[in-house]
Structure 1
Amino acid sequence: MSSDFWNARFATDEYIFGTAPNVFLASQAALIRPGMRALAVADGEGRNGVWLAEQGASVHAIDVSPLALEKARKLAAVRGVALDFEQADILDWNWPEAAYDLVAAIFIQFAPPPERDHVIAGIRRCLKPGGLLILQGYTPKQLEFGTGGPPSAANMYTADLLRDWFGDWDILHLAEHESVIREGSHHHGRSALIDLVARKPGS
């Protein structure tokens, strides 16, 4: 989706996904070490990247929308943390090799096949050996709930799909579940979710 689409969505004083971190990401706080280099993928208004910075991570937050990044900078200032913000379309971004200790990929399902293959390849590339991926997304059942996410099942994740992508990594946690989430006005209500924590092989 274009920056125009996301700018239109973010063109409000409201933080449409809230300012609190994603609950699943926050539940993995024990894995986050001060000083680790973290990439917050399509971080929008900054709720997850700012939280990672509050945990002591050195955060590179990317998003396609300049309006979202402006709001993220304001949130970081209020919270008293500094992040490296970059406006970038992750479908065209040159994912650096072995650059990060952690990748946070929270609800980044706007890219359908085959475009998302580029994103998955980028995530695999940019993590250092031993680096961690923390991912949450929707399963196809989310279409029944309609409480957030894209309107197409082709964009959703399943456990088998995540195993196809990351089965050669050390999967520390993989679970599908239904939970009530309250993440601003755009992610609100009972939702069909899938969570993944995986470690890239290597020391």
Structure 2
Amino acid sequence: MPTLWDERYAGEAYIFGTAPNAFLKSQAARLQSGQSALAVADGEGRNGVWLAQQGLQVWSVDSSSVAQAKAKKLAAERGVTLQFEVADLLAWDWGDARFDIIAAIFIQFTDPAGRALQFEGIRRALKPGGMLLLQGYTPRQLEYKTGGPPSVENLYTESMLREWFGGWDIQHLREHDEVINEGSHHAGMSALIDLVAYKPGK
């Protein structure tokens, strides 16, 4: 039975575009060919495919088989190979110390209880010394209405991210308002927050 996300991703168009997220792309210098990477809630694959193009070994996970079919098509067009998995990220086994990189780009589809599961999964799944690249919306996004969830409880603040990842080596944490153009579903002035943090250890 098709899910809400399957219905949202139906059709030929890539609703978030095929170009990588601009923040993710801006961190290219931190990536190393051969690293293992998890693309969380990777949808139609724009970010996972880009990571694979940088030489990373990418695991692309999403709840929608419709989206992943489009992601596989994009990967074939770009000449890269990824591992794909359809899974409920609130019930998924993230594993322990599996990945060098985790890209968590606009994964705000859940409430605080679900977010706790996500963030605990991220904390476990990264290897010691591994890097988290996260971008999301702040509560000001409710004023712009240019994408993202309609509920304030799903959105991020700097204090929230410091609470979850404050013991990590935070290289970059910034709230900013910026115009983004990521397909039809993320377009226009947006209230964003970016995080680059390394897990302790190694």
TM > 0.5: yes
The 5 Å alignment of 1:177-196 reads 177-196=176-195
Aligned to 1:147: 146
Is this contact kept in 2: 1:3–1:64, CA < 8 A? no
Structure 1: state its 5+ residue gaps. none
The 5 Å alignment of 1:33-182 reads 33-182=32-181
Q: How many residues align?
A: 202
CA shift for structure 1 position 93: 0.1
Give the whole-Å Cα distance in 2 for the aligned partners of 1:168 and 1:3: 40
Give the whole-Å Cα distance in 2 for the aligned partners of 1:87 and 1:198: 27
Give the whole-Å Cα distance in 1 for the aligned partners of 2:37 and 2:75: 15
Give the whole-Å Cα distance in 1 for the aligned partners of 2:127 and 2:86: 23
For 2:201, the aligned partner's letter is G
The C-alpha deviation readout for 1:16-70, integer Å capped at 9, x for no partner, is: 0000000000000001100000000000000000000000000000000000000
CA shift for structure 1 position 3: 6.2
After TM superposition, the runs of 4+ consecutive aligned structure 1 residues lying more than 3 A away are: none
For 2:30, the aligned partner's letter is L
Give the whole-Å Cα distance in 1 for the aligned partners of 2:21 and 2:148: 14
Aligned to 1:17: 16
Q: Secondary structure at the match of 1:133?
A: strand
Q: Secondary structure at the match of 2:112?
A: coil
The CA RMSD measured in Å over matched residues stands at 0.9
The C-alpha deviation readout for 1:71-124, integer Å capped at 9, x for no partner, is: 000000000000000001110001110000000000000011111100000000
Q: Secondary structure at the match of 2:181?
A: strand
Give the whole-Å Cα distance in 1 for the aligned partners of 2:23 and 2:141: 17
Give the whole-Å Cα distance in 2 for the aligned partners of 1:125 and 1:184: 32
Q: Secondary structure at the match of 1:25?
A: helix
Give the whole-Å Cα distance in 2 for the aligned partners of 1:3 and 1:42: 17
Point out the more displaced range, 2-11 or 179-188: 2-11
**1:106–1:64: structure 2 CA closer, same or farther, 3 Å change rule?**
same
Q: TM-score, normalised by structure 2?
A: 0.99
CA shift for structure 1 position 145: 0.2
Give the whole-Å Cα distance in 1 for the aligned partners of 2:155 and 2:119: 13
Aligned to 2:7: 8
For 1:56, the aligned partner's letter is G
Identity %: 63
The C-alpha deviation readout for 1:105-153, integer Å capped at 9, x for no partner, is: 0000001111110000000000000000000000000000000000011
Give the whole-Å Cα distance in 2 for the aligned partners of 1:132 and 1:153: 27
Structure 2: state its 5+ residue gaps. none
Give the whole-Å Cα distance in 2 for the aligned partners of 1:44 and 1:149: 14
Give the whole-Å Cα distance in 1 for the aligned partners of 2:114 and 2:81: 31
Q: Secondary structure at the match of 1:114?
A: helix
